[in-house]
Amino acid sequence: MHILHLEDDGPLREVLKAVLTTADPTVNVHQFIASDDAVQYIQEHAQEIDLFILDVRVPGSMDGMGVAQKIRELGCTGAIVITSAYRRPNPALLSSLECKWMPKPWHILDATKTLLPLARERSQQKQGSEAAAEAEKTPASPPTDSGAHPGKANGTAGLAANQQRSDDEATGDGLEDGLETGGEAQP
């Protein structure tokens, strides 16, 4: 899972990174103090990031809400969590950008219970979409002659295998790692 964290408070950055990586060692957390540095990274990695945790009041040419708008302009579907110790941003704006609100101060356990599931959900959707896109690229195997009569390729066993393959494709079973598909396919 790939998480971007924009926060100007050093101890808070350190605590959140330690908590997230302890709770799930597979988490890859990239942290930024200033919005301009975060936006540059986002432009290069937007489709890889599963979760954006953005403080509202940060140094740089835009605040956390501006960064959230930029993320959506780039077409990134990752989850966005806006956080601040100050006033809550306009609920209509949060909704239009599909952002969740997490006011400070937050408890460490609440942070992991709230943030990691969001990142996991997006990561699984992304992996499912990638698996589905890969399946579409893979050409179907041509029928093979299993020694049946000429003109009857695959014989009875081949027909049963082809039917099972069709059933798997119709139900979504048989996807690698059992991941469900969801979200849009990535280019």
The per-residue DSSP string of 25-73 comes to TT-EEEEESSHHHHHHHHHHHGGG--EEEEESS-SSSS-HHHHHHHHHH
User: How many structural domains comprise the chain?
Assistant: 1
Q: Is residue 151 part of a domain?
A: no
Domain contains 169: no
- What string of pLDDT tens digits covers the 187 residues of the chain? 999 999 999 999 999 999 999 999 999 999 999 999 999 999 999 999 999 999 999 999 999 999 999 999 999 999 999 999 999 999 999 999 999 999 999 888 888 899 999 999 988 887 777 666 666 666 555 445 544 444 444 444 433 333 443 344 433 433 233 222 233 333 3
Q: Give dist(CA 116, CA 109) in Å, integer.
A: 11
The answer to whether position 131 is within a domain reads no
183 within a domain of the structure (yes/no): no
pTM for the whole structure: 0.69
Residue 144, in any domain of the structure: no
Closest by alpha carbon to 50, among 101, 2, 98? 2
CATH of the domain at 44: 3.40.50.2300
Query: How far apart are the C-alpha atoms of 185 and 187, rounded to whole Å?
Result: 6
Residue 27 included in any domain = yes
Q: Domain limits at 39?
A: 2-125
Residue 148: inside a domain, yes or no?
Answer: no
Asked whether residue 163 is domain-assigned, the answer is no
